[in-house]
């Protein structure tokens, strides 16, 4: 653009700068969230005193948030780096703008920040306090569907003791983040034993956080002391039995020295056991007598003798094979 200024006969031709012209290499840029992305704006003709400015997707001047946006300028081009793109906040139309004395121009650059697919849902399989101290919680979880996972997040919150009248649920606090995607179990510490807690877990695919699992409260550990208690009880019983046996043996051996104590303890018992011992002897004698008489008459049928033969122990005299049932029962009871 040229202009003429005349003073009398003298005319001076003046050079007047044009308004700037901007171009871009890519007016549509897409990126997966989490990474940095660079938007480029090029000034078509290099006019002096041209300023390039950038506006973000909310039409805010980018220099207002230097942590998010980095600017690089050279003579003809300007780069805007959007750092750690977020799929929810950073997509949209960005603007590159240039102005000089004559005028201004701006061009849009569309940024699409793609989100990673939703990771699968997670289910808490088991959640228990590690100990009765209730300061640590063991959790393990399941994933029922396929899908990309880059990690897990575990959150907890305190549950008010009085259910019902709660205006606002307490906030969820992160207990663990960036848990390895291959693990399915975790031990959390830092629980207040007097508090009630709810815990939930979600899978993460890069920056996409999955649906939280159903929240669950840690259960008390199963009473692991049971085997110990039972073991102690059995051990105690065995020791008591051994002591009793030793005591009885001592008294039996020393019955001549201390006959009164022996009689006191064994008086009734002894007579009973004597009866028990004598009974089979009497029976077998009687049985033998009956046996003889039976053999003489040839009366016993095969149905009566066969079951007894299987039950009788081998160390009994052979004549016991045909003994009456009472002998067999006595042997079994004493063995
Ligand atoms: C600016 O962006 C362009 C295109 O993406 C690239 O070629 C150039 O190297 C960038 N400049 C700097 C300083 O990063
Ligand atoms: C995952 O959980 C969400 C919310 O609980 C539910 O809407 C969705 O259907 C679940 N997806 C699958 C695949 O079960």
The CA 180 to ligand 2 mean position distance, Å, reads: 22
For the chain, what is the mean pLDDT? 78
Residues 13 and 101 in one domain: yes
**Ligand 1 centroid from CA 69, angstroms:** 15
Same domain, 152 and 233: no
Instruction: Kindly state whether residue 300 falls inside one of the protein's structural domains.
Output: no
Q: Which of 12-21, 53-62, 271-280 ranks highest by mean pLDDT?
A: 53-62
Q: Which ligand is nearest to the CA of 38?
A: 1
Find out whether the beta carbon of 36 lies less than 6 Å from any atom of ligand 1: no
Q: Which residue has its alpha carbon closest to ligand 2 atom 4?
A: 211
Return the ligand 1 atom nearest residue 81 CA: 14
Last residue of a domain, one of 266, 284, 315: 266
Question: Could you report the per-residue pLDDT of 113-169, keeping only the tens digit for each?
Answer: 999 999 999 999 999 999 999 999 999 999 989 999 999 999 999 998 776 666 788
| Residue 237 structural domain | 226-266
pLDDT > 90: what percent of the chain? Answer: 45
Among 74, 95, 114, the domain-final residue is 114
Instruction: Note the pLDDT of residue 18.
Output: 77
Interval 154-198: pLDDT, tens:
999 999 877 666 678 889 999 999 999 999 999 999 999 999 999
Q: Write the DSSP assignment of 217-256 as a string of letters.
A: PPBPPP-THHHHHHHHHHHHHHHHHHHHHHHHHHHHHTTT
Query: Could you read off the pLDDT of 242-270 as tens digits, one per residue?
Result: 888 888 787 777 777 766 766 666 665 55
pTM for this predicted structure? 0.53
If asked whether residues 91 and 128 sit together in one domain, one would say: no
Residue nearest to atom 1 of ligand 2 (CA): 121
Tokens of 284: 């077998």
Closest CA to 250 of 264, 239, 263, 262: 262
Q: Whose CA is nearest to atom 7 of ligand 1?
A: 40
């Amino acid at each position: 653009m040229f202009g003429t200024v005349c003073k009398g006969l003298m005319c001076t031709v003046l050079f007047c700068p044009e308004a700037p012209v901007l171009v871009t290499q890519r007016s549509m840029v897409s990126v997966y969230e989490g990474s940095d992305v660079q938007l480029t704006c090029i000034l078509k003709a290099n006019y002096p005193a041209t300023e390039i400015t950038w506006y973000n997707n909310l039409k805010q001047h980018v220099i207002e948030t230097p942590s998010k946006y980095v600017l690089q300028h050279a003579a003809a081009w300007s780069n805007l780096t959007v750092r750690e793109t977020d799929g929810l906040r950073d997509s949209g139309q960005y603007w590159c703008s240039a102005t000089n004395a004559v005028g201004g121009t701006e061009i849009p650059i569309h940024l699409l920040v793609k989100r990673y697919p939703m990771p699968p849902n997670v289910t808490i399989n088991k959640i228990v306090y590690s100990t009765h101290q209730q300061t640590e919680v063991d959790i393990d979880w399941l994933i029922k569907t396929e899908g990309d996972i880059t990690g897990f997040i575990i959150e907890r919150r305190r549950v008010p003791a009085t259910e019902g009248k709660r205006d606002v649920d307490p906030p969820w606090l992160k207990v663990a983040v960036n848990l390895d995607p291959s693990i399915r179990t975790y031990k959390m510490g830092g629980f207040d034993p007097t508090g009630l807690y709810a815990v939930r877990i979600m899978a993460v695919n890069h920056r996409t956080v999955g649906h939280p699992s159903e929240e669950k409260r840690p259960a008390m550990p199963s009473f692991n002391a049971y085997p110990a208690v039972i073991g102690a009880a059995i051990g105690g019983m065995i020791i008591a039995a051994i002591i009793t046996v030793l005591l009885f043996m001592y008294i039996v051996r020393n019955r001549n020295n201390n006959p009164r104590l022996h009689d006191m303890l064994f008086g009734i018992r002894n007579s009973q056991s004597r009866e028990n011992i004598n009974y089979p002897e009497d029976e077998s004698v009687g049985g033998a007598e009956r046996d003889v008489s039976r053999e003489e008459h040839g009366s016993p049928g095969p149905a009566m003798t066969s079951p007894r033969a299987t039950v009788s122990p081998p160390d009994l005299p052979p004549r016991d094979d045909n003994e009456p049932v009472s002998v067999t029962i006595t042997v079994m009871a004493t063995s």
